Amino acid sequence: MRRRQQPPLPKRHGLDPARIRMPEDGSWATIREFLVDTEPRIAPSRIDEMFSSREIVDMHGPLDIDAPYVRGEAVWFHRDLPAETEVPFDIPIVYRDDTLLVVDKPHFLPTIPRGGHILQTALVKLRLELDLPDLVPAHRLDRVTAGLVLFVVDPRARGAYQTLFQDRKVRKVYDAVAGVNPELEFPRTIVSRIIKDKYDFAAREVDGEPNAETLVELVESRNGLGRYRLSPTTGRTHQLRLHMNSLGLPIIGDDLYPHPTNRAVDDFTSPLRLLASELEFDDPISGLARRFTSSRTLEL
């Protein structure tokens, strides 16, 4: 397997620079022309500024504004950061050693940088606060879901732990709060097919071969609300939210199912009542049985 090139620029704000490869069939005269045509989110004037300040580099160093296009080669630069609203919640550490870091992620904080969320993500905050520049997540939680996330400290162990999640060898348990329906019997297992189109934020259930399975248990109920224990055996996008919604019991605080609410990104009220409460697995490196639990609770 071909090894990934090490970036010729250091991390900034805990982030690697963007790597842009020039296609073999490209016919641009200069790298500037290539970037202007292929990076529409960056204004041409800003690209010129980056060349002038020596911010665009290849493996040999900074590039001039008239540097020729070289088929198959790559350039690196740091993208400008979007304006972000601070997510004003701490990230408690559940466990830490030289290989693993387990944290109790708050609601409203994305796990990794994406779209308009860059610095205000668990990954970047933890890299900076703990001085762990090589930290990577073994899996992810939705921005609006709170609870346990496992990160890998030692980059040499990254593949082993990510494979653990990909191969469904991690037992995951979630807590959720939703309405109750006395006509529904629990426990029950929901099986369906879930798909998500690339440019749609919401996923949906469709006919076809099932690819998602969740055990739903009603733990307690009071005043028209229930506390549920959700045990997924698969990890499809928004699986738990869709499966609860399919029962006619959308999770309290869900701003996407059954209908989008267009909640403002800086509205931290009424969080989704969904919590990743338990992670359990056999450690692929040490062989030890690992079990982690969240200290957070969901009030009825």
Q: Which active-site residues does the annotation give?
A: 142
Residues 6+ apart with CB under 8 A from 33: 69
CB 35 within 8 A of CB 26: no
User: d(Cα 215, Cα 224) in Å, to the nearest integer?
Assistant: 21
For 47-138, list the strands marked E by DSSP: 57-58, 61-62, 74-77, 93-96, 100-105, 136-137
Contact 103, 126 (CB under 8 A): yes
Computed from CA positions of residues 279, 282, 285, 291, in that sequence, does the dihedral angle turn out positive or negative?
A: positive
Separation between Cα atoms, residue 39 and residue 53, nearest integer Å: 18
Tokens 């931290």 appear where?
268
Cα three-residue angle 2-6-11, rounded to 5 degrees = 145
